[in-house]
Structure 1
Amino acid sequence: MGTSSTTDEPSHQVSLDIEKLAKSVKDELEISNPFSDTCCIYKVPERLRAVNEKACTPRLVSIGPIHHGNEKLKAMEDHKRMYLKQFLAQSEVSVERFIELIKEKETRLRNCYAETNGFSSEYFIKMILMDAAFVIMFLLKYKYRDFRGSRDSIFYPPYKRLEVGNDICLLENQLPFFILEELCGLSPIYGNSPKPTLIELTHSFFTTAFDSWAVGDILGRVDFSEVKHLVDFLTIYHRPTEQEQYGELEVITVPSVKELHQAGVKELNEKACTPRVVSIGPIHHGNEKLKAMEDHKRMYLKEFIARTKYEYNCSNFRRRRDSIFYPPYKIEDVKIDICLLENQLPFFILEELCGLSPIFGNPPKPTLIGLTHWFFSNEWGSWAVGEYLGRVDFSEVKHLVDFLTIYHRPTEQQQFGELEVLTAPSVKELHQAGVKFVLSSSKHLLDIKFDRNKGILEIPRLQLQGRTEIMLRNMQAFEQCHGLKDGYVGDYIFLMGLFVSASKDVEMLVENRIIDNWLPSNEEVVQLFYNLNIGNFVSREDFLFEGLIKDLNAFCERPWNKWRAKYFKTPWAAISFSGAVIGLILTVIQSVCSILQVV
């Protein structure tokens, strides 16, 4: 009883104690903390961290639980103990009283952090006391030289003051401000003037260390009573007043790829296949960088189990303070991660689990296919078209990446053929040969048609944004790994790479509304398809656009079109050529007239 064993797949099946496994899952759910409305200290989203990791990571000292235990920061633990000893001596308050206070506030303290490392109560309280004493003493010593006393290596050689000052201003390296204030409240060295308050000490530190941001004369005019931590303290300095109104931005300008590269921003293309915040399935499970989301998974499992007991109601699925859908808004990273080939679960198991729940079913209850389609049609622009759901068969879908590929599976009318030449003219070259570009009414991206008699090339609209490479790269990888018979995603990438070999090609497609470019520049579109074509597989024997490329090459090889492309590349070339022809004609006429006069 409580044990299950099957013989369908003997190589993977072992005796399984269902009751024991269920107890293990329930135990994990019991230790999961609910989402808190008071959360204010977060890990920096991976999309920001990837740009400059050093700007988010402490170099010398850890404050709070997020970086606690980091081997590179352990050298400062002795310094913390020394500062705690000084803090206790200055305060004339017993360590037991401070521990008592922190214990009373433990739940509130834990709720301030979006992610915890599962510290025991004893360890957590000890860490808070050590780190809080360190921050308080650092601020005191920073303002008052008398407090520096002995030869402190933070304020004397090798002068670690700058590094510590930077570290305590990192979002991931914070303590809630209220606990610093309450600990100070027990000490006779803080209070009313001339004794400093913690707000005054903090302000003094910022006006010295960040003078251009933290303006000295603002302290009496700004309310810091609700400050959450030191980073929040900095943001409050320049919080907009009631007179400063937000408005709609008409023009958005961003640096070009070249300017970003010159500024030291690294290319992030290699991360198009690797999850940033959450692991799904076995491939990336256990990755240290993704472990923080395990608590989130337990919380979601707890909600899923609870909701299977109630009737369907979609109005309150986000009712708690969920850091995916509320600050720090991890939704963008999660949306990308669940669409990576290495981060998938078989679709059938998702459907079967949903089948056990009363919140899924027939309308108005959603099906999993309906929910997935809704997600893709909202998030992936022109690739997942809303009206396709009723006309495309998703019954055999393997996982979410496969779901995406199915949207533009070729129809029976779109035939694969053997490709003789693996080259085609670019958009600019086609334009010079007389081809006209027209936005197709079709929503099917692969439905590219060329009328060789009229010279009209119809291309469906393609929206390009920051996530486009991730989407296409993972469909491309699935197509290659799974050995799909028709590699239409790879064929589409190859064709678009031929079309847009320079920024002028992109400019023409943008002007004709064929490309809706949300990337910073036209050069980035060229780079996008160049990157995608690295490692792209194309078969000469079975190429979806064989007929299209053949017709385009034939059109450009027509004598008149070839001649036109050669001599009418630019308006100036056309004017120059026309002038030469007119000059030649006038010369001939003049010569004939001269001959006639002689005769």
Structure 2
Amino acid sequence: MENDVAIELEAMLKKAQPLFTTKSCCIYKVPHQIRQSSEDAYTPVLVSIGPLHHGNSRLVTMEGHKQFYCQHFIQRSEASLTDLVSCVKQLELQIRACYSEKIEITVDELVKVILIDCCFIIELFLRDYEGTTEDDLIFSKDWMEFRVMHDLLLLENQVPLFVVEKIYNLAFASPLHGGGFPSFMWFAVSYFSYHNKQSVLTPASSSIAHFTDLLRYFHLPPSHTTLLRNPGSLVLGHSASELVEAGVKFQVNKSSHCILDLEFEDGVLKIPHIIVYDGTEVWLRNIVALEQCHYPRDHYITDYVSFLAKLVNSNKDANVLIKAGIIESMVSGNDTSVAKLFTDVDKNIIIVNYNVNYLRIHHDLNTYYKHPCRTKIATLRRDYFTTPWKTVASIAGIVLLLLTVIQTVCSILQLHS
């Protein structure tokens, strides 16, 4: 009996395979503990890209339009359909290795999915660049154009960038070699230019895994590879409104377009301007999910979200940053929606080290607040000057006290005169 079990177990273990290889994997199913708080933030609304959401009944409508784009791309292409199929088929094993989930479809089916999606993406970028989009289903409707771009940035809705680039280079070999045609990465940066607030130059394609990774790249400082990181914890004891009571001033950091460039000096906390709209939570969540899965020691955007979550956790705190011009709120709600955004994205996130600059700012803010004079000022403001009526009553009480003291002094002087 025991020998039979051992034989079965041995056979089972010989077939065992790891979920993914860390060197190749770059496209992940968002971990359950992260996605459970907002399933919709990681799920495409209109168009599926890649195998993870392929076949979703909600996304079937766009499949015909993707094939239409694919047909037009092949008509543009110097390469034949057979050449393009062969190109993807040669990369099939590399493509599978890029996904954290086991792709349970045949080789031929995967080749079809990847080829159609890659051709769709390239044709989409070309049409956006050419501007001849009046009769196009996607570009003639603003809401659809926005939704397609939104879906292309989701972590689970990706194809490896090297595959798209190989198809692009095969299709337009002559113009590229002649120097008269931009690179695919140039088109990608152009298409997602709304998110490129720093106007970063076109990165090397080898450094970007997919479009979620490109989105992250847009928000990193140019010198991010030299930023120091240390173990520690961001324990900010006081929110934005409490820091204001202690005399901290909030200002927009106008010297940088990178949202990560925070500065604290001489009682002034400078934070770069950020527009918060209904899609902000989605792109922040997907970058944070990518960093949790792919950049576990270099999670710079996650650091930023964690900092803001500790700083802004109420309507009152959000209003401080909105009044200072740091946050420009365009959300379909109120200031509470802004505060909730950062705290929600920060949930169930594991952080093992931090940007050294953020650790220093946290320490300096806590030290600034704990200064005896500022602690007393904060207490006075919190207890006696929180509303106009309390302020008036407090001032009246102080004046009455001063008058009483003056009257007492005058009475004592009269007795001694």
SS at match of 1:305: helix
Q: Deviations over 1:231-270 (max 9, x none)?
A: xxxxxxxxxxxxxxxxxxxxxxxxxxxxxxxxxxxxx943
| Residues 1:554 and 2:367 are matched in the alignment | yes
In the aligned structure 1, how far is the partner of 2:378 from the partner of 2:342? 25
Q: Which residue of 2 aligns with 1:334?
A: 148
In the aligned structure 1, how far is the partner of 2:318 from the partner of 2:268? 18
Match for residue 248 of structure 2 among 423, 428, 435: 435
In the aligned structure 2, how far is the partner of 1:298 from the partner of 1:313? 15
TM-score normalised per structure 1:
0.50
Q: Which residue of 2 aligns with 1:279?
A: 48
Q: Deviations over 1:184-229 (max 9, x none)?
A: xxxxxxxxxxxxxxxxxxxxxxxxxxxxxxxxxxxxxxxxxxxxxx
Q: Which residue of 2 aligns with 1:305?
A: 74
% identical aligned pairs: 32
Match for residue 423 of structure 1 among 236, 252, 267: 236
Letter in 1 for 2:406: I
Q: Which residue of 2 aligns with 1:447?
A: 261
Match for residue 563 of structure 1 among 372, 376, 384: 376
For residue 532 of structure 1, report the CA deviation from its aligned partner.
0.9
Match for residue 331 of structure 2 among 519, 535, 553: 519
In the aligned structure 1, how far is the partner of 2:192 from the partner of 2:38? 22
Write the mapping of 1:157-236 to structure 2, written as runs, cut at 5 A.
Answer: none
- Shift of the 368–598 alpha-carbon distance from structure 1 to 2, 3 Å rule, reads same
For residue 364 of structure 1, report the CA deviation from its aligned partner.
5.8
For residue 460 of structure 1, report the CA deviation from its aligned partner.
0.5
In the aligned structure 1, how far is the partner of 2:144 from the partner of 2:234? 46
Write the mapping of 1:42-81 to structure 2, written as runs, cut at 5 A.
Answer: none
Q: Are the aligned partners of 1:280 and 1:343 in contact in 2 as well (CA < 8 Å)?
A: yes
Q: Deviations over 1:83-107 (max 9, x none)?
A: xxxxxxxxxxxxxxxxxxxxxxxxx
SS at match of 1:457: strand
Letter in 2 for 1:464: V
Match for residue 592 of structure 1 among 395, 409, 416: 409
Match for residue 294 of structure 1 among 50, 59, 63: 63
Q: Which residue of 2 aligns with 1:462?
A: 274
Write the mapping of 1:139-154 to structure 2, written as runs, cut at 5 A.
Answer: none
Q: Are the aligned partners of 2:162 and 2:205 in contact in 1 as well (CA < 8 Å)?
A: no
Q: Are the aligned partners of 1:488 and 1:544 in contact in 2 as well (CA < 8 Å)?
A: no
Write the mapping of 1:342-357 to structure 2, written as runs, cut at 5 A.
Answer: 342-357=156-171
SS at match of 1:405: helix
SS at match of 2:379: helix
For residue 447 of structure 1, report the CA deviation from its aligned partner.
0.1
Which one scores higher on RCO, CA 8 angstroms, separation ≥ 6? 2
In the aligned structure 2, how far is the partner of 1:405 from the partner of 1:515? 20
| Residues 1:376 and 2:192 are matched in the alignment | yes
Letter in 2 for 1:370: W
For residue 400 of structure 1, report the CA deviation from its aligned partner.
0.5
- Shift of the 492–284 alpha-carbon distance from structure 1 to 2, 3 Å rule, reads same
Q: Deviations over 1:435-472 (max 9, x none)?
A: 11211111010001011x2x111111101111111101
For residue 553 of structure 1, report the CA deviation from its aligned partner.
1.1
For residue 481 of structure 1, report the CA deviation from its aligned partner.
1.3
- Shift of the 336–577 alpha-carbon distance from structure 1 to 2, 3 Å rule, reads same
In the aligned structure 1, how far is the partner of 2:297 from the partner of 2:129? 43
- Shift of the 424–407 alpha-carbon distance from structure 1 to 2, 3 Å rule, reads farther
For residue 525 of structure 1, report the CA deviation from its aligned partner.
0.9
For residue 317 of structure 1, report the CA deviation from its aligned partner.
6.4
For residue 432 of structure 1, report the CA deviation from its aligned partner.
1.2
In the aligned structure 2, how far is the partner of 1:462 from the partner of 1:433? 25
Q: Which residue of 2 aligns with 1:118?
A: none
Higher helix share: 2
Q: Which residue of 2 aligns with 1:475?
A: 287
For residue 421 of structure 1, report the CA deviation from its aligned partner.
5.4
| Residues 1:402 and 2:213 are matched in the alignment | yes
For residue 366 of structure 1, report the CA deviation from its aligned partner.
2.5
For residue 564 of structure 1, report the CA deviation from its aligned partner.
1.2
- Shift of the 515–286 alpha-carbon distance from structure 1 to 2, 3 Å rule, reads same
In the aligned structure 1, how far is the partner of 2:412 from the partner of 2:131? 95
In the aligned structure 2, how far is the partner of 1:409 from the partner of 1:365? 28
Q: Deviations over 1:25-50 (max 9, x none)?
A: xxxxxxxxxxxxxxxxxxxxxxxxxx
In the aligned structure 1, how far is the partner of 2:157 from the partner of 2:130? 28
Q: Deviations over 1:158-209 (max 9, x none)?
A: xxxxxxxxxxxxxxxxxxxxxxxxxxxxxxxxxxxxxxxxxxxxxxxxxxxx
For residue 543 of structure 1, report the CA deviation from its aligned partner.
6.3
Q: Which residue of 2 aligns with 1:8?
A: none
| Residues 1:486 and 2:255 are matched in the alignment | no
Letter in 1 for 2:40: K
**RMSD after superposition:** 2.9
Letter in 1 for 2:414: Q
Match for residue 367 of structure 1 among 163, 173, 183: 183
SS at match of 1:337: helix
Match for residue 505 of structure 1 among 314, 317, 340: 317
In the aligned structure 2, how far is the partner of 1:544 from the partner of 1:490? 14
For residue 354 of structure 1, report the CA deviation from its aligned partner.
1.4
- Shift of the 319–553 alpha-carbon distance from structure 1 to 2, 3 Å rule, reads closer
Letter in 2 for 1:557: K
For residue 559 of structure 1, report the CA deviation from its aligned partner.
1.5
What are structure 2's unaligned runs of at least 5 residues? 1-16, 18-36, 80-125
Q: Which residue of 2 aligns with 1:4?
A: none
For residue 319 of structure 1, report the CA deviation from its aligned partner.
5.4
Q: Deviations over 1:126-169 (max 9, x none)?
A: xxxxxxxxxxxxxxxxxxxxxxxxxxxxxxxxxxxxxxxxxxxx
What are structure 1's unaligned runs of at least 5 residues? 1-10, 12-267
Q: Which residue of 1 aligns with 2:139?
A: 325
Q: Which has the larger radius of gyration?
A: 1
